[in-house]
Amino acid sequence: MAEARLIDGKRIAETVRADVAAGVARFAARAGRPPGLAVVLVGEDPASQVYVRSKGKQTVEAGMRSIEHKLPATTSQRELLDLVAALNRDDAIDGILVQLPLPPGLDAGAVIEAIDPAKDVDGFHPVNAGRLAIGAPSLVPCTPLGSVMLAKSVSASLAGMEAVVLGRSTIVGKPVAQLLLAEDCTVTIAHSKTRHLADVVRRADLVVAAVGRPEMVRGDWIKPGAVVIDVGINRVAGAEPGKTKLVGDVAFDEASRIAGAITPVPGGVGPMTIACLLRNTLTAAEQRAERR
Ligand code: GUN
C-alpha cells in the first residue's frame, strides 16, 4: 500500500480564515462595525492561556474585534454569570466563549447555559446541541466542524460511508457523530466500553479518533484506503530526556501506511478549531443582524 495522502489542516484552515476575512469585510461595510468575539478566561491554566492568546491574534487578523476578559481563579460563580449576562446584553458582541476547563468550584454547565444561544460560538449550549441533534440550523462546535471539513476535503460526498467515531464526549464525539449522520454516513460511536474495538474500527471507511489516548489506534485497526481524522493532541515524552512531543490518538507511522488519507498531529485538526470559531463568530453576527 502506498503512503496515505496527508490532509493538511494548516493549509485548509488558512483558506477558511481567508473566506472569513472576506465575509467580515462585507459584514462590517453593511453593519458599520466588525463582528465582536468576547473570550473569558478564568484562572491561569497554561494551556488555556496559549489558546486564548492564539484566538485573540487570529480574531484581529480576520478583521474582527477581540474582547478578552481575564479573571482571577478566585472569581465566584455569581461574578462570572454577571459578566456573561453583560456580554449577552452588549449589542456589539456577537460571540461569547468561556474558556474551559474552569477552575474548581465553578459550574461550567450553568455558565454555558447562561450564554445567549445566538452568541454561543462554541456550540455548547443545550439549545444548539439540541438543534444539531434534530438537524435544525445551529452554531456547531468548532473541533467537530473542522474535523468533518477535513474529511470532506478528501471526499466531497461522505454519503453511504461507514463512519466510526471513537469517543462520546459532548464537545467532540457526539457532535461529530451528528454531523456525519447529516452527511448520510452510517455512524457508529465507539467508546471505552465497546467490545472488539479493533474489529469495529476495521469496518470504517472513515475513522474519527477523539479519545485522548496517545497512539491507541494501531495501523492494523485501519481498513486499507480509509480516511483517518485524528482529533487527539497528547503530550508525551520525546526521544531525548526531558523533551516532550505531541502525538495523536492514532499511531501515525503505522496508520499512514494503510490509510488512504490521514491528518497529522500537529497540523491536522488543531488549526481548524480556531478557524471554525472565527467562522461561527461571523455566522452569529450575520444571523443576529438578520433577526433585527
Ligand atoms: N478549551 C479547549 N478547547 C476549547 C474550546 O474549543 N472551547 C472552549 N470554550 N474551551 C476550550
Predicted confidence at residue 1, as pLDDT, reads 58
User: Model confidence over 176-213: pLDDT tens digits?
Assistant: 999 999 999 999 999 999 999 999 999 999 999 999 99
Predicted confidence at residue 2, as pLDDT, reads 78
What percent of the chain is modeled with pLDDT above 90? Answer: 99
Selected residue with higher pLDDT from 292 and 70: 70
Ligand 1 centroid–CA 203 distance in Å is 31
| Ligand 1 atom 9 nearest Cα | 99
Predicted confidence at residue 201, as pLDDT, reads 98
Ligand 1 centroid–CA 238 distance in Å is 26
- Domains of the chain plus CATH, in order, are 32-117 (3.40.50.10860), 140-269 (3.40.50.720)
pLDDT-derived band at 229, boundaries 50, 70, 90: very high
Report whether residue 122 contacts ligand 1, using a CB cutoff of 6 Å.
yes
Report whether residue 100 contacts ligand 1, using a CB cutoff of 6 Å.
yes
269 Cβ neighbours under 8 A, 6+ residues apart = 9, 143, 146, 147, 150, 229, 230, 231, 263
Report whether residue 98 contacts ligand 1, using a CB cutoff of 6 Å.
yes
Report whether residue 273 contacts ligand 1, using a CB cutoff of 6 Å.
yes
User: Model confidence over 66-118: pLDDT tens digits?
Assistant: 999 999 999 999 999 999 999 999 999 999 999 999 999 999 999 999 999 99
DSSP symbols for 76-103: -HHHHHHHHHHHHH-TT--EEEE-SSPP
The answer, yes or no, to whether residue 3 has pLDDT greater than 80, is yes
- pLDDT, average across residues 270-276: 98
Report whether residue 280 contacts ligand 1, using a CB cutoff of 6 Å.
no
Ligand 1 centroid–CA 100 distance in Å is 5
182 Cβ neighbours under 8 A, 6+ residues apart = 135
User: Model confidence over 146-161: pLDDT tens digits?
Assistant: 999 999 999 999 999 9
Report whether residue 97 contacts ligand 1, using a CB cutoff of 6 Å.
yes
pLDDT-derived band at 292, boundaries 50, 70, 90: confident
Candidates 96, 156, 145; CA nearest to 121 is: 96
| Ligand 1 atom 2 nearest Cα | 100
Ligand 1 centroid–CA 174 distance in Å is 16
Report whether residue 99 contacts ligand 1, using a CB cutoff of 6 Å.
yes
- pLDDT, average across residues 33-59: 97
Q: In the numeric block, which cell numbers belong to residue 38?
A: 468576547
Candidates 167, 153, 219, 212; CA nearest to 10 is: 153
Sign of CA dihedral 141, 66, 32, 278: negative
Ligand 1 centroid–CA 52 distance in Å is 9
CA distance 66 to 274: 13
Alpha helices in the chain (DSSP H): 9-31, 46-61, 77-89, 108-114, 126-134, 142-154, 173-182, 197-202, 252-255, 269-290
CA distance 175 to 194: 19
- pLDDT, average across residues 25-45: 98
Q: Which of 54, 55, 96, 100 to mutate to test the pocket of ligand 1 (most atoms within 8 A of CB)?
A: 100
- pLDDT, average across residues 29-57: 97
| Ligand 1 atom 8 nearest Cα | 99
Average pLDDT of the chain to the nearest whole number: 97
pLDDT-derived band at 127, boundaries 50, 70, 90: very high
Q: Would you please indicate which residues are annotated as catalytic (active-site) residues?
A: 55, 99, 122
- pLDDT, average across residues 12-16: 98
CA distance 62 to 99: 20
- pLDDT, average across residues 2-29: 97
